[in-house]
Amino acid sequence: MPASSDHGTAGTVGFIGFGAMASRMGHNLQAAGYQIVAYTPSGKGGDGTARFLPSPRLLAEASGGTVILCVPDDEALAEAAYGPEGALAGMKAGTLLINTSSVSPEASLALAAAAGERGIAALDAPVSGSTPEAEAGALVVLVGGEAQIVARAQPIFDIIGKATIHAGPAGSGSKLKLVINGIMGAGLAAVAEGIGYGLAAGLERDMLFEALDSVAVISPHHKRKLKAARTGDFRPQFPTRLMQKDMRLLLDDAARVAAPVPTMAATTQLLSLTRRLHPNDDYSALFAVMESMVANTP
């Protein structure tokens, strides 16, 4: 991520949704010379450095031609984008709409079509990474849309991320995001089940966690989750409610294209249970659920 801009103010970017991920992206854009304006339903978010507007439409009107959506689900996307107070109503032809939200491919395709009817350039560009990567400007941006629009957005992507993957036409970024998160969720579930078995079989807990941290079969991401789970630190980097939502979207789209995903389906059930118990904790709270299950089994 560039530490500073060599051309003064680079322009104004509007964020719709300014939570843990978006505020960190916004901070990095500010450090590179951009001005940031934001909208959230509560009027709050970030560290107080962004100016908040009272509606998505007014936010879009105040932005410098680029609006970034970062909302939790399809329903929030529809509320933010459409209608007389939605972002599209405030955007002019020729402006740029970047949707970094993790939403269904159908929602991304519908947004691209609606934007195109108004002459607005749109991309679905969800990101891979959690809050540490967002803070470091080290996200991987997964983009669906036309190549010339991707090139136009690349200066922003270069600030918020370490790599940009152009996955294909509109909707492709959302599909690739579901692939990645499905693998991430299923991988964590496998590790949690392994720990559950090990504890039930009588292995010593600290030894088990140390052993798994030492072997190559556990990914760096899952090792980070292991370290946190060992001490019971489930502060949210990726809340369970969002991970479970992404798994549900994956199952819905997999069923639509008749792709069998039995392992990911089972993982979704485990994450549904975890969401019931730990909705706003990190999704690695699945470790705590599995440990509790084996502890309470005769």
Residue 198: closest CA among 284, 106, 295, 63: 295
User: Residues with catalytic annotation?
Assistant: 177
Question: Pairing relation of β-strands 127-128 and 139-144?
Answer: antiparallel
β-strand partners of 96: 66, 121
Distances in Å between the Cα of 198 and the Cα atoms of 75, 102, 202, 284 are: 41, 34, 6, 17
Contact 72, 242 (CB under 8 A): yes
The Cα–Cα gap between 191 and 223 comes to 10
Q: Return the number of other C-beta atoms located less than 10 Å from residue 84's C-beta.
A: 8
Q: Which helix (H) or strand (E) holds 116?
A: helix 105-117
